[in-house]
Amino acid sequence: MASLPAIHADPAPTLRQSLPAALILAVSICAGFTTMVSFGIMAQSAKAELGLSDEALGAIQGVSAAVPLVLLSIPIGILVDRANRVRLLILCSVAWTLGTFLTAFAPESWSLFAGRMLTGIGATGALTACLSLVADLCLPTERGKGLLIVTLGKSLGQAAAFAVSGWLIGHFAAAGAASLIGDLTPWRSSQLALGIGSALLILPLFFLREPARQEVHQGTRVPIRALISELWSRRAFLLPLFVGQAAVVMADAAAGIWAAPIIERQYGLQPADFAGLLGTVILISGLAGGLLGGLAADWGSKSGRRGGLLLGAIIAAAIGVPAALFPLMPTATGNMLVLGVLILAGTVTGLVTSVALTVMLPNELRGLSIGAFISVAGLIGFGLAPPMVAVVSKPLGGEAALGLAQGLVGVAVSLFSVAGFWLAMKRAPEPNG
């Protein structure tokens, strides 16, 4: 079994020294995930305007994210390991901003699909770059806290996607309110406003400098075939970890995409009625999950126990099993609160998994491994889970049974996540003695 990577001779800076750079990265990820997730609360409006079916809507939101993840996540991961990560992050931010503008002006389903796909490429590619950057901006024993900052930015972005988007739709839908350009409908004006804000938030990235890479074993110019061979040699640990996190992404992706339509259909509410509470729940859940995940990861990495770092992921995945039944709650408030528990659990597992990859793998494998994780999770989580919910709902009663289908799919995949993390813990590399 491979041992943990040795620490580079030149120590990384402390997290306190790198805090300004880490905060800029967090703001960038916040913007990316706000634009990526924002369409979820606008989906019902777009469905009505463009005459889309649930299957088409699931493909636009799920498959549009899965395709670029599968095709580009590994190449982006390789670039993260070899190229200037700050420049790559700037390119990703431009991509998600252009995708948001394309969404705002999409005349039909295929251009809407392309807009969401471009937004997904930018946000998920940026996440890989940010995780690698933050890992080199702090010591290994501080890595849980460092990645926590980026995770909190992601959580804030996901919450803002609901809260800010809901407010924008309500604002542009109000009597007498003018659209930003011409006669755009409220959801389109909301996307345009988000695109403008995202473009402004690209500017702080030009103040970042590429940090020195830490914990490098073989350098950044190792042949790709050799890197893939290195990853494959760790398959006993990485494959179950893939299964665990991909299953979590399946549950969370389907929940995030269908949460707003389920609330609108089951409880007769409009986005402006529940977006504020939903955004608040997502924000608090993301903050709490990030804090718990960071503390659990740092504690586990210091424990000296084989696989101890992943214990927090196992517990969180187990909590996610009953939480996946959030659509079956009798009230909209209960629905959103239980959804918050599911998001909290998913945030913990995501952060612990990220820390495990940055601590247990050498630097030259991190971007590739994170890219591979995102690729697999994108294919299975975004490409399979949201359309699966729509398909499962058909024999259960059609569109009216969307909530029940979501709950059944969520519980099934959450059980797989528990098994995957448990097996990964058992097969984790031995800590350095």
User: What does the pLDDT read at residue 199?
Assistant: 95
pTM for this structure?
A: 0.66
Residues 202-236 pLDDT 10s: 999 999 988 887 756 555 566 777 777 877 888 88
Quick check: is 431 in a domain?
no
Q: Could you tell me if residue 10 is inside a domain?
A: no
Q: Please name which of 142, 426, 143, 144 lies closest in space to residue 307, comparing C-alpha atoms.
A: 426
**Is 42 within the bounds of a domain?**
yes
Q: What is the model's pLDDT at position 429?
A: 79
Q: What is the pLDDT of residue 33?
A: 92
- Residue-level pLDDT at 215: 59
Q: Which residues of the chain have pLDDT under 70?
A: 1-12, 175-180, 215-222, 304, 363, 378, 382, 430-433
Structural domains of the chain, count: 1
CB atoms within 10 A of CB 173: 17
- Between the CA of residue 350 and those of 155, 288, 310, what are the distances in Å? 11, 13, 11
pLDDT score, position 10: 55
Expressed as residue numbers, the domain containing 301 is 15-206+226-426
Q: Is residue 40 part of a domain?
A: yes
Residue 215, domain member (yes or no)? no
- Look at residue 377 and tell me if it is in a domain: yes
pLDDT of residue 203: 94
pLDDT for position 175: 59
Contacts of 215 (CB under 8 A, 6+ apart): 5, 6, 7, 8, 140, 362, 363
Round to whole Å and give the CA distance between 381 and 65: 9
The pLDDT assigned to 1 comes to 37
pLDDT tens-place string over residues 282-304:
888 888 888 888 788 877 777 76
Looking at residue 56, its pLDDT comes to 80
Question: Residue 431's pLDDT is what?
Answer: 52
> Are 210 and 85 contacting, i.e. CB atoms less than 8 angstroms apart?
yes
Residue 94 belongs to some domain of the structure = yes
Is residue 5, in this structure, part of any structural domain at all?
Answer: no
CATH number of the domain residue 62 falls in: 1.20.1250.20
